[in-house]
Homo-oligomer: A and B are copies of this chain.
Amino acid sequence: MAAARELTSSTISADLAEQLSQAIIKGDIAQGSKLSEPELARRFGVSRGPLREAIVRLEGMGLVTRQPNVGARVIRLTVEDVAATFAIREALEGMAARLACSAATDAELADLQALLDQHEAELAASGDGHYADQEGNYDFHNRIIRASHNEQLISLLGDELYARIRMYRQQTADHRTDPRQALREHRMIVDALVNREADLAEMLMRRHISRSQRLLEVYLRESVG
């Protein structure tokens, strides 16, 4: 369960939203479990006011569902939800890649290439380091999303969608993605960006995401049933 440490972002409500979302993503607060306001308020040492505001935020992030006069429950991830989330992700990140083709600065593209070089080095060194524990993967996708320079898109993917995606990853042990294959696909995407080939970049990104979706779904079906 969640501890009671703080982050102090000048407002308790924002801190609580951050802590609770992380706890849900990591699975410290179990799927389907009820968020009891008195219990959480006591544990975090705050009143119910800011806690309720944080829960409203969680609902907006799609991490909990609420019923009036009943309360909030953590969402329960189903195989269908994975498909739904990844369809959205495919559409939005594909668009991000397209936009990045026009909007990305040369510096951003250089950073992307440097990042992949680093990943390649790490991969060669650690043999099979799971591609930097997935964090490198997130970093790559995040940079392309930011390179779209579309603030709404950045916030939509960052605040809402990736919360659920991280939740899948964190809570489903591991998924059999080949780091070398992922790196190859990342390379191809960056090449398309560098050459400013919008159609190609979007298509490659969509295929890349679609592939990782299939891998995740295969794993879910054979593990959960």
Contact of A60 among B10, B57, B88 (CB under 8 A): B57
Using Cβ atoms and an 8 Å threshold, which residues of chain B touch A87?
95, 99, 150, 153
Using Cβ atoms and an 8 Å threshold, which residues of chain B touch A62?
152, 155
Contact of A88 among B61, B69, B152 (CB under 8 A): B152
**How many copies are assembled?**
2
- For residue A53, CB closer than 8 A to chain B, the reply is yes
- Given A60-B60, A91-B91, A91-B95: A84 and B53 within 8 A (CB)? no
Contact with B along A40-55 (1 / 0, CB 8 A): 0000000001001100
Using Cβ atoms and an 8 Å threshold, which residues of chain B touch A155?
62
Question: How far in angstroms is the closest Cβ of chain B from A140?
Answer: 19
Apart from A53-B53, A62-B152, list 8 A-B contacts with CB within 8 A: A9-B68, A10-B68, A49-B49, A53-B56, A60-B60, A84-B152, A88-B156, A90-B95
